Structure 1
Amino acid sequence: MTGRQIALDTQPRRIRRRRTEGWTLVGAAHPLLGGMIVDRSSRYGNPCKVGLMQEMGYEDPHAAAAANYRTWLAGSRSDWPTDEGDQRRERILAGLDRLRGKDLACTCPLDRTCHADYLLRLVNMPAVDLAAWVTQVRARVDRQRVRDGEEPMYVAAA
């Protein structure tokens, strides 16, 4: 099997980031795909903490945190209706193209639901579909900002 065949047969996957001596992203990610860290230390990290979901009594705090991330990234301002939250979301939206085709590393156990699973599905959809989704998210955020008496973040295309 050649390197080209490996690249065609391999789908980007979630890998578990370790914070142990000797662990490297280069060593863990597929050699042809490469990888990106998407845990809380990165711009792509989930602002919703698993520990908070556990304190709130969720049966599966990992799944609850991942669901909250999906809702927030899709433009909901219900849990974080601030400029800071909107700007953080925008940093993620603006950088999604950097994740396309790469393995994604987060510290969550692989047998638990993680926001990186959502990012993998999102960034590996057809580029035109991802661009349309990002446009819809930005419009959704602006509608909520205007509803709440705030200035929109984005200039509407003429």
Structure 2
Amino acid sequence: MPRRHQKPSRHELKGWHKPPDSIVITRPSRFGNPYKVRPYGPYTAEEAAGLYERDLLAGGVESAPGRPPTTIEELRRRAGGLDVVCTCDLDAACHGDVILKYANT
């Protein structure tokens, strides 16, 4: 079953390589979460992941202005069977868990 990996912070990136068969879901990628988590935005990690899931189920998530919404069908097509890589702590709520849930159903 695909899983979530943690991308190192910017100052720890030297020598790091994205795991094979994975996609990066950080901002500003196609699958980035537009809902920012504290201290950079008003939401908790749980709220941001919940809002991402709400929008996904409502028809799609607009990850950036002017970009077409990301839909469940697109997640299945482009992320199905792949691991996801984000900067969230692995024990924290993350929209990556939502992506894994819907991309692999």
Shorter-chain TM band: 0.7 to 0.9
- The superposition leaves residues 76-121 of structure 1 with CA deviations (integer Å, 9 ceiling, x where unpaired) of 79xx8xxx47x542xx226311101010011111010000001001
Looking at structure 1, the residues matched to 2 and 83 of structure 2 have their Cα atoms a distance apart, in angstroms, of: 5
Shift of 1:17: 1.3
Q: What is residue 98 of structure 1 aligned with on the other side?
A: 78
Determine what percentage of the aligned residue pairs are the same residue.
36
Other-structure match for 1:121 = 101
- Equivalences, count: 95
What's the counterpart of residue 70 of structure 1? 53
Q: Name the residue aligned to 1:39.
A: 26
> Comparing both structures, which one devotes a greater share of its residues to helix?
1
CA distance in 2, matches of 1:45, 1:66: 11
Is the partner of 2:34 in helix, strand or coil?
A: coil
Q: TM-score, normalised by structure 1?
A: 0.54
Q: How big is each residue's C-alpha offset from its partner over 1:16-52, in whole Å with a ceiling of 9 and x where there is no partner? A: 1123211110xxx2x5xx1001111210000000022
Flag the 1:50–1:76 CA change in 2: closer, same or farther, 3 A: farther
Could you tell me which residue of structure 2 aligns to residue 16 of structure 1?
6
Larger of the two Rg values belongs to structure: 1
Q: CA RMSD in A?
A: 2.2
Deviations 1:49-94 (A, max 9, x none): 002235xxxxxx11111111111122279xx8xxx47x542xx226
Give the residue type in structure 2 aligned to 1:24. H
Listed as ranges, the gaps of 5+ residues in structure 2 are none
Contact 1:38 1:116 in 2 (8 A): yes
How much has 1:122 moved relative to structure 2? 0.3
CA contact (8 A) 1:53 1:65 kept: no
Structure 1: gaps spanning 5 or more residues: 1-10, 55-60, 126-158
